[in-house]
Homo-oligomer: A and B are copies of this chain.
């Protein structure tokens, strides 16, 4: 007889569920499935040849260094390249203020590790990026969940929550551009207001910006980091959406003293990010491929977004509403409030279409009637067919519920913006 492992686990694991995304993403591998679930970039756009040449060059000329251990902060030329690139977007930094991470998910983990004690309050958007919740849950955070609308986090509500000085959040987590999952973008006036709150209440902001360069219409808004006069903002960037996620390279920008402590966390977490991958990524970047590559991606993704919006308009009946993202990979579909989008998923999978139920993005984990739809990794034709299938399933559910036959959603929906 073996150990009772369950009783040996740390508190942070005893009450947590298994990851909400794991199973959903696996549906994408089933035959004939149209998966609108993942957050995958379009694989056919990956600059495969550029990577092939880059790895070849690095391994032909510099293998002894590239295959060896290296320092936790990351490859200096890559950090210098990123400092320079970000300066074009108004973010001033130095290589000492930048740390290379194993994807931006690791940036979330390292920042949570540095700021979150068990029970610490973290301000999050509701709905919130699931990876952010997973990172904060690892350190037993509690949440101040602020609803979002088409202009992003409702900062007024945060202001109201902070006004009496009773709450002392350790961190404000914000994904201002084309938020995952809602697709909404924080307006300029709310950006100013959020920074003002950060300064007044002395709360750092963690700005997560994986999609900032993927804007398909409308005017580019400045990042919180670039607007911040007091150095309160920690910024997360990643190559996952502008180059390729399979390499796992992201970065954190923060004041140098914060980077030094994040470095201690990085060493404890995994010593450093792959020396070889960092060098090859730098090879890909230094030839100036990135701007042209992103310029090629935007119209493709825009067409896919448009196809999804069109299909929803043409096919979805009354009672459903959806966001109209100006960029990014996702939109947020709000079904009639009685539909439990977790329960409906099995039917959708039977109909060969997959999505992520809104509960995955709920800071409290409660079930709801929203779903996240991805439009970057399917063709316009697949999207149209996927939405058609989804419409069939949703209509069936609405009818069943109208006849009093189905399991109606019975949770508090006040938070649904």
Contacts and interface: CB of A to CB of B under 8 A. Distances in A.
A64 B44 contact: yes
Contacts of A16: 264
B66 A263 contact: no
Interface string A38-82: 111101101010011001100110011111111110000000000
A116 interface: yes
A413 interface: no
A230 interface: yes
Chain B CB within 10 A, most for which of A16, A137, A265, A275: A265
Contacts of A255: 2, 5
Kindly state the interface size class of chain A when it binds its partner: 35 or more
A158 B201 CA distance: 50
Chain B CB within 10 A, most for which of A5, A22, A120, A232: A5
A114 B51 contact: no
Chain B CB within 10 A, most for which of A12, A240, A255: A12
Interface stretch (A102-110, A288-296, A302-310, A343-351): A102-110
Contacts of A260: 18
Contacts of A55: 52, 55-56, 59
Contacts of A115: 8-10
Contact of A248 (B25, B139, B245, B270): B270
A114 B5 CA distance: 10
A175 interface: no
A10 B117 contact: yes
A270 B109 contact: yes
Given A59-B51, A269-B106, A276 B261 contact: no
Contacts of A231: 2-3
Interface of A: 1-5, 8-13, 16, 18-19, 21-22, 25-26, 38-41, 43-44, 46, 48, 51-52, 55-56, 59-60, 63-72, 101-103, 105-106, 109, 113-118, 120, 131, 134-135, 137-139, 170, 202, 204, 230-232, 240, 244-248, 255, 257-258, 260-261, 263-265, 267-277
> Lowest 5 CB-CB distances: which A-B pairs, in order?
A48-B63, A246-B275, A67-B244, A43-B64, A52-B59
